[in-house]
Chains A and B, each alone.
Chain A
Amino acid sequence: MTATTVPPTRSRSRTSVPGLSLTVLGLVGAAALLPGVLAPRDPYAQDVSERLRPPSAEHLFGTDELGRDLFSRVIHGTQASLSIALLALAFAFGLSVLIGLTAGYFGGTADRVLMGGVDVLLALPSLLISLLIVSGLGTGPLNLAVAVGVASVPTLARVTRAEVLRVSAQTFVEAANGYGLARHRVLGRHVLPHARGPITALGALELATMVLSVSALSFLGYGTQPPDPEWGNLIAAGRDYFATSWWLTTLPGAVLAGVVLALHRVGRALGASEAGLV
């Protein structure tokens, strides 16, 4: 029997990571890390003579009611928005991977107890969970991150558990148990590497949701407080003038929507190509 190549199979419609989305995310990442370099002006500098100017070459996004440059404020706001969302993601990921792994791999009572709790949280819309936590902990960026993170735990934990169970049920895992490979090796070598992909993809999608939730809660006034800029509170502040100055709400919102969309696409692309492996 000689070595053969696999016959050409019909290619599945596999999404490649879209370049535009990555560019958007790259720019946003740069804005979050180096706002001072990218922003053309001081986000706090007021200039009453320049108040409520529509977008122009000088002020790309126009100016607000105190004459501050909106474009610079959006760039500086990126840091606040993204860092809260990333903190929330890290929090949610740590907690839910722990819960999901324990429940999925060890099963039994641990599984029943943990998943019982997760099911209760899953029965509630995530915004309500976030609101309950904010009202308990009080407002502020850090509390916001916890509130948004906890709201994502049920979904992520469920998916982690489902993935661990799915991979554990595969024949090659049973085979590894069968020839006597130690339990932690089976978990680390065979189960986790194959469960990782879908969980990562979901993580990217969750991050998109978190960016949305963080800005929504900031919009309601529970997050970063003015005069510090953040996407949600910029939009909230623009509401007072939006009958006359459309750019104050529309432009920061468009940036936010663009970032969320880019995260979505990257998450989907990850999900599709990773799923092709297993």
Chain B
Amino acid sequence: MTAAIDPATDRGALLRLEGLKVAYPGQRGRDATVAVDGLSVTVPAGRAVAIVGESGSGKSTTLHALLGLTPRTADVSFERLEFQDGTTGGLRRIDDPRALRGRSVGLVPQDPVRSLDPLMRIGAQFAELHRHFLGLTGREESRARTVAALESVGVDRPGLRLGQYPHELSGGQRQRILIALALVGEPRLLLADEPTSNLDTTVQRRVLDLFDEVRAARGLSVLLVTHDIAVAGERADHLVVMRAGRVVESGPTRDILDAPKDPYTRQLLTSLPSRLPARPVFRAASPPRVVLASHGLTKSFGGGKGQERIDAVRDVSLTLHRGQTVAVVGESGAGKSTLLRLLTGLDRPDAGTVLLDGEETRPGRRARTAFARRVQLVYQNPARSLNPSFPVGRAIAEPLEAHRVGGAKSRAERVRDLLEQVELPAELAARRPSQLSGGQLQRVAIARALALDPDVIVLDEPVSALDQAVQFALLKLLGDLQERLQVAYLLVSHDLGVVRAVADEVIVMHRGRVEEQAATRSVFEAPTSPHTRALLDAVPALQLPTPLVHLAPLAPFSTSDGKKQP
């Protein structure tokens, strides 16, 4: 992937958009919101361009504006929109972006699960487009074309798929079908809106490979929108970095990765998990202090009468030492969440035991309460794990109250102390969750988990709902806290970059079983199980020159909101 455009393959620009502005008019005295402010982008023929930005940067709005899909209340204007003319090869002016839909530009959506009409068989979804784009009414011909199209995007048993409904297919299959559907109108440009963010890493990789294949085979251009600079760096020839509606930097990928000019881009690159300070090799204390352990945990869920029971977790044993971080990884459905619920006592296992300080945990509410004091849970989505109507100070104090620790005054003091520990100003205690950013909320959740001085904190995808820079700061905080408090972490994550950066030991799960269990380094450098290898191959590799000079300070950018875009 070279940055310089090779003159032999270059057929000029396919799409040129200049000065795009999208604003939402203010309602009831509010100011108008400018979502995109003066964006320009050029997609060369046959190339891939990526728009990179965090949530709220306006990257998705740009993409919607390009097809005239913004809500009618939005104020959309652009100085110039041009698209290559099919016959002359020159650029042709487009006045209404809706004219580009389907035949010139194909859209591949973010969410494969909700992007197909649930009541229509796959065959009918294609037939509809065949009628519309090609005027094709014959059933047989439509069938034949559909089978060929499905084959070309790597859907297995295409003949069978024709008669199936979307809900009968897996996420990866649906995403492939959506790509095939986008290609029916024979567009010259594919727009991909975070096409893989709802898929497992291994599937993600295969879908992105498919994009590359399709692009090469059909000579298409791709405009990729993503929050993940690693994905963008790996797949695109040109990058456009957006922040708060504006382009902060754009140019050939290599140039940007090697020498980012804008401080924000630099920060994106320096806040990758791999940039976290290296962890010292974990050495168990002697005698070893195991705080949490499990033996042969098994839990299955029944599918009703006469239905096979499905083992969600099967025979899982693990040990967690004081001050250690153990990460559990695996694709969705591998049993991570069930394991987590068993280890935190939210569910009881069918077989096996959970040991706290070497003692078996007993059922019953009293034992459960005692257990809760020592093992705390931090959830994936901080906005949902905090009661929206409580000031965050009260939320932090509630575990203390539940266990009758201290009086009102000492609790207030403890809350101040905890806020300081998670590096939040004390005056935040009076705010409500809606007034805080995603990163701040997750810090509050961590403070609440720390309130009772637990030995173990179970972290359930603690940073996956947050923007990259916020993620980085939070992971750093978690590391600092562990060093200071010697608390043990059990981390559940699908993000192997995060796992590699923070875990001492990794447990790879697959269909409820432990596939591999070893020190982080050996899992990443010498995986023994083929399944682990598949997981690792899927991580986008980003070659960066090290070290980057002039590291930007983190503070000015950590204000962005961590909420997902609607």
A interface residue numbers (CB < 8 A to B): 1-8, 10-11, 170-172, 174-182, 185, 189-190, 193-194, 277-278
In the A-B complex, the 7 residue pairs with the smallest Cβ-Cβ separation, listed nearest first, are: A180-B372, A180-B369, A181-B402, A179-B399, A171-B384, A171-B385, A4-B559
Q: Are B346 and A180 in contact (CB under 8 A)?
A: no
Q: Are B435 and A5 in contact (CB under 8 A)?
A: yes
B344: nearest residue on chain A (CB-CB)? A178
Q: Are A6 and B399 in contact (CB under 8 A)?
A: no
Q: Are B33 and A8 in contact (CB under 8 A)?
A: yes
Q: B515 to chain A: closest CB distance in Å?
A: 28
In the complex, B452 has a CB within 8 A of chain A? yes
Specify which of A11, A171, A176 is in contact with B398 (CB 8 Å cutoff).
Answer: A176
Q: A141 to chain B: closest CB distance in Å?
A: 40
Separation of A208 and B457 alpha carbons in the complex (Å): 51
Q: B393 to chain A: closest CB distance in Å?
A: 14
Specify which of A10, A171, A194 is in contact with B389 (CB 8 Å cutoff).
Answer: A194
Separation of A182 and B428 alpha carbons in the complex (Å): 27
In the complex, B381 has a CB within 8 A of chain A? yes
In the complex, B333 has a CB within 8 A of chain A? no
Q: Are B423 and A1 in contact (CB under 8 A)?
A: yes
In the complex, B437 has a CB within 8 A of chain A? yes
Q: A105 to chain B: closest CB distance in Å?
A: 15
Q: Are A179 and B452 in contact (CB under 8 A)?
A: yes
Q: Are B399 and A180 in contact (CB under 8 A)?
A: yes
Q: Which chain B residues numbered 20 to 41 have a C-beta less than 8 Å away from chain A?
A: 24, 27-28, 30-31, 33
Q: What are 13 inter-chain pairs, A to B, with CB distance below 8 A?
A: A2-B555, A8-B30, A10-B33, A11-B27, A175-B377, A178-B372, A179-B399, A179-B402, A179-B448, A180-B369, A180-B373, A181-B401, A277-B389
Q: Are B559 and A2 in contact (CB under 8 A)?
A: yes
In the complex, B553 has a CB within 8 A of chain A? no
List of A residues within 8 angstroms of B372 by Cβ: 178-180
Q: Are B473 and A1 in contact (CB under 8 A)?
A: yes
List of A residues within 8 angstroms of B401 by Cβ: 181
Separation of A179 and B371 alpha carbons in the complex (Å): 9
Separation of A175 and B381 alpha carbons in the complex (Å): 12
List of A residues within 8 angstroms of B56 by Cβ: 7
List of B residues within 8 angstroms of A176 by Cβ: 387, 398, 402
List of B residues within 8 angstroms of A8 by Cβ: 30-31, 33
In the complex, B358 has a CB within 8 A of chain A? no
Q: Contact flags (1/0) for B35-67 with A, using CB distance below 8 Å? A: 000000000000000000000100000000000
Q: Contact flags (1/0) for B422-455 with A, using CB distance below 8 Å? A: 0111011001001111011001000010001000
List of B residues within 8 angstroms of A1 by Cβ: 423-424, 439-440, 443, 473, 555, 558-559
Q: Are B388 and A278 in contact (CB under 8 A)?
A: yes
With A8-B33, A194-B387, A278-B388 already in contact, 4 other A-B pairs whose C-beta atoms are closer than 8 Å: A2-B555, A6-B561, A171-B381, A174-B346
Q: B367 to chain A: closest CB distance in Å?
A: 11
Q: A106 to chain B: closest CB distance in Å?
A: 14
Separation of A32 and B220 alpha carbons in the complex (Å): 74
A278: nearest residue on chain B (CB-CB)? B388
Specify which of B385, B402, B473 is in contact with A180 (CB 8 Å cutoff).
Answer: B402
Specify which of A175, A182, A194 is in contact with B379 (CB 8 Å cutoff).
Answer: A175
A10: nearest residue on chain B (CB-CB)? B24
A6 with B434: in contact, given A1-B440, A178-B344, A181-B398 (CB under 8 Å)? yes
In the complex, B196 has a CB within 8 A of chain A? no
List of A residues within 8 angstroms of B424 by Cβ: 1
Separation of A193 and B443 alpha carbons in the complex (Å): 25
B477: nearest residue on chain A (CB-CB)? A1
Specify which of B30, B377, B381, B473 is in contact with A178 (CB 8 Å cutoff).
Answer: B377
A194: nearest residue on chain B (CB-CB)? B389
In the complex, B84 has a CB within 8 A of chain A? no
Q: A251 to chain B: closest CB distance in Å?
A: 37
In the complex, B368 has a CB within 8 A of chain A? yes
Specify which of A4, A177, A180, A194 is in contact with B440 (CB 8 Å cutoff).
Answer: A4
Q: Contact flags (1/0) for B330-350 with A, using CB distance below 8 Å? A: 000000000000001010000
Separation of A32 and B385 alpha carbons in the complex (Å): 46
List of B residues within 8 angstroms of A180 by Cβ: 368-369, 372-373, 399, 402-403
In the complex, B386 has a CB within 8 A of chain A? yes
In the complex, B376 has a CB within 8 A of chain A? yes
List of B residues within 8 angstroms of A189 by Cβ: 387
Separation of A277 and B437 alpha carbons in the complex (Å): 17
Q: Are B402 and A182 in contact (CB under 8 A)?
A: yes
Separation of A178 and B385 alpha carbons in the complex (Å): 11
List of B residues within 8 angstroms of A181 by Cβ: 398-399, 401-402
Separation of A277 and B434 alpha carbons in the complex (Å): 10
Separation of A190 and B390 alpha carbons in the complex (Å): 9
Q: Are A171 and B388 in contact (CB under 8 A)?
A: no
Separation of A179 and B402 alpha carbons in the complex (Å): 8
B440: nearest residue on chain A (CB-CB)? A1
Specify which of B379, B428, B431 is in contact with A171 (CB 8 Å cutoff).
Answer: B379
Q: A16 to chain B: closest CB distance in Å?
A: 9
Q: B432 to chain A: closest CB distance in Å?
A: 10
Q: Are A193 and B389 in contact (CB under 8 A)?
A: yes
Q: B431 to chain A: closest CB distance in Å?
A: 8
Separation of A277 and B388 alpha carbons in the complex (Å): 8
